[in-house]
Amino acid sequence: MNALVARLVAKRLGIMLISLLIIAFAVFFATELLPGDVAEILLGQSATPEAVAGLRKAMNLDQPAFLRFLSWLGGLLTGDLGRSYANNREVADLIAGRLANSLELAFVTTLFSVPIALTLGITAAMFRGSTYDRFVSVFTVSVISIPEFMVATLAVLIFAVYLKWLPALSVANDVQGIGELLRIYAMPVITLSFVVSAQMIRMTRAAVIDTLDTAYVEMALLKGASRPRIVLRHALPNALGPIVNAMALSLSYLLGGVIIVETIFNYPGVAKLMVDAVSTRDLPLIQSCAMIFCVSYLLLILIADLVAILANPRLRNQ
């Protein structure tokens, strides 16, 4: 790795760390603006003012917000996410099991959606202007226009209510065999794949078309190279950076879509845990879940930037 690439990588890492600090500040003080008093919510309406004041002091809620932010930030840096207000358990323990479920759902969705999206995007670019290309374009625009909750609701109505092929809830308890496991994960994966694939198809198609319009690809065409060879040998390697960026940006939609999907299908993931924490105003749990989503998003963007840098031959060979 040459010095220029090393400087670019270090710059991306620095930007990520600064972004995380700003995000941590925004997340903490945004949750502070949630209505209601945590102590009163936990103790109930019949609690006395003395009991409320005592609980606020025990949870350090009587301290200034900025001091609590510094204490929380220090805990994040050391891996201490604090304790849940609702059940007095370690936030890390509450998130651990749910995070595995969310990662599993995201992994299955990625395995299902990425090959389909890349295939449709690349083939649409190969046959640009054809009926197939127009069909793919209309399909992707239609899917982008439909919000995630609508896709999930339609999936429940069609496959669970009317056809009764799939369960309406995705709770993987006492699974008997691979068939039942596929039935449980089918609707969340299909819904998230709609969210992820549409943008990836459009961005992949645009990246490949930009590469196909370059001079060296036209030269290969004049030399008699077949269209599949031009795409696979000449266009795709040079479009790798934009395609990986398209994948990262599209997969980042999982972070928004998974909140809706886990709520509708009652899937026991981090997003569902965060929604439940909002209802009880469990601030440490809300803040930790929000930071997990933000870190995941920034990691995806960082990986895409690094791949784009390393895939650039002018930087590698300088």
State the DSSP string of 144-178.
HHS-HHHHHHHHIIIIIIIS--S-SS---SS--SH
- Does 226 map to a domain? yes
Separation CA 32–CA 318 (nearest Å): 50
Banded pLDDT at 274 (limits 50, 70, 90): confident
> What CATH number does the domain containing 203 carry?
1.10.3720.10
Q: Are 249 and 304 in contact (CB under 8 A)?
A: yes
Query: Where in the sequence is the domain holding 305, given as residue range(s)?
Result: 90-316
- Does 40 map to a domain? no
Indicate the number of domains in the chain. 1
Instruction: Provide mean pLDDT across the span 293-311.
Output: 81
C-alpha pair distances (Å), 16 with each of 202, 295, 296, 299: 27, 9, 11, 8
Banded pLDDT at 165 (limits 50, 70, 90): confident
Structure tokens at 31: 């949750």
The residues with which 83 forms a beta bridge, in sequence order, are 90
The residues with which 90 forms a beta bridge, in sequence order, are 83
pLDDT at 74: 87
pLDDT at 179: 66
Q: Backbone phi, then psi, for 88, in 5-degree steps? A: 60, 35
Between residues 172 and 219, the one the model is more confident about: 219
Between residues 56 and 284, the one the model is more confident about: 284
Listed residue (250, 101, 119) closest to 188, CA to CA: 101
Question: pLDDT of 95-148, one tens digit each?
Answer: 887 888 888 888 888 888 888 888 898 888 888 888 998 998 888 888 878 877
For the chain, give the percent of residues with pLDDT over 70: 90
pLDDT at 255: 67
| C-alpha dihedral sign at 144, 149, 150, 155 | positive
- Does 36 map to a domain? no
- Does 43 map to a domain? no
Instruction: Provide mean pLDDT across the span 28-52.
Output: 76
Separation CA 308–CA 303 (nearest Å): 9
The region of weakest confidence among 21-25, 32-36, 78-82 is 32-36
5, pLDDT greater than 80: no
Between residues 24 and 237, the one the model is more confident about: 24
Question: pLDDT of 185-242, one tens digit each?
Answer: 788 888 888 878 888 888 888 888 888 777 777 777 777 767 777 777 777 777 777 7
Banded pLDDT at 11 (limits 50, 70, 90): confident
Separation CA 126–CA 129 (nearest Å): 9
- Does 31 map to a domain? no
- Does 35 map to a domain? no
175, pLDDT greater than 60: no
- Does 38 map to a domain? no
- Does 149 map to a domain? yes
Separation CA 207–CA 45 (nearest Å): 58
pLDDT at 135: 92
The region of weakest confidence among 62-66, 137-141, 176-180, 298-302 is 176-180
pLDDT at 83: 84
Separation CA 30–CA 272 (nearest Å): 19
The top-scoring range by mean pLDDT among 37-41, 70-74, 177-181, 262-266 is 70-74
pLDDT at 263: 82
Residue type, position 37, single letter: D
Q: Are 109 and 151 in contact (CB under 8 A)?
A: no
81, pLDDT greater than 70: yes
Residue with tokens 């972004």: 19
Instruction: Provide mean pLDDT across the span 162-182.
Output: 67
Please state the pTM of the whole predicted model: 0.78
